[in-house]
Amino acid sequence: MRERVPPSQRRRICDDDREEENNQLMELIHSESNFNFVKRHLISHFRDHIYMFGNIPMYSTEYGELAHKEQIKDGWRCSNKIDAARQILSSYGRQHAIRMSILNLEFLQRAGADIRTEVVEHLEKTRPAPTPPAHRRILKGRRDNIHDVIDFGRGCNISLEMIGWELIRYSRLSLPPERRLPENPAILRALSVELLTQLEIQVLAFQESGVYDIHRARCTGARLFRNQTSRNDCVWIQAGVENMYGALRGRLPARLIALSKIRSGYM
């Protein structure tokens, strides 16, 4: 008669077997992994590509994620969840065909072709109102515990002397005389300051006129980003004029340490 194994011991044996299987799987992954990935190789070409053609939206994962939502998720929600793949393809195919038909009709209308009145009225109803892009940088993600320059220096671990010197230098070099900051250290420290975590930058798309891509630069300082690690992105800064000699054309790479805005009558 076979000896009966207690339930606790059976669970322990199953856990040990599962752990051994996971360890073998990880050893297999590590032994066969390498860094010969296409995305890692493309990084070496980004710099030259940016100098020649501008920004590189085709390498951004944001477009793929948006396409995944439009092409798959929306179709899944509209399906009855039975043979969903066929319904997703059919739904997206119809939407794509309708968009192509609208573009063709709009082209014929601009070319002066004879189009029925009801078709023209339908095009006018479906045509979205043009909204010109705001060519400006937008700061988002305000932190609530920062109120003045003293709080800003404490939150970013920057000395007040350094902050005051940078504010005065920026005021002298970049602001018109009527908007320059006071150079009294006591007044500078009392200025109302907002500390933010995201900067939206609109960049003209490659080979497009009037089409802008939004690049998001994030700076969380020492705080965690999405409960993982801090995120302080690298950006290009204009340290000189455009016609300077060299490939950088007066630009220098830098890492963000803080995104701030002075909330007063000076700026």
pLDDT digits (tens, 9 = 90+) for 12-32: 888 888 888 888 877 876 676
Of 89 and 264, more confident: 89
DSSP notation for 59-103: G-HHHHHHHHIIIIIHHHHHS-SSSHHHHHHHHHHHHHHHHHHHH
The pLDDT value recorded for residue 45 is 75
Residue 36 confidence (pLDDT): 58
Give the CA radius of gyration of the chain. 28
55 pLDDT band, cuts 50/70/90, is low
pLDDT at 19: 87
Region label for 157, one of left (φ > 0), alpha (ψ between -120 and 50) or beta (otherwise):
left
Q: Rounded mean pLDDT of the chain?
A: 80
Of the given ranges (53-57, 152-156, 233-237, 248-252), which has the lowest mean pLDDT?
53-57
Q: Tell me the per-residue pLDDT of 113-169, one tens digit each, with 9 for 90 and over.
A: 888 888 888 778 777 665 555 567 788 888 888 888 898 888 888 898 998 898 898
pLDDT surpassing 70 at residue 218: yes
What pLDDT sits at residue 198? 92
Q: Looking at the predicted structure, is the pLDDT value of residue 79 above 80?
A: yes
pLDDT of 39 > 70? The answer is no
Question: Is pLDDT above 60 for 9?
Answer: yes
**Is residue 244 within 8 Å of 250, Cβ to Cβ?**
yes
Q: Which residue has the higher pLDDT, 5 or 14?
A: 14
Which of the residue ranges 67-71, 165-169, 206-210 would you say has the lowest mean pLDDT? 206-210
3-state secondary structure of 215: strand
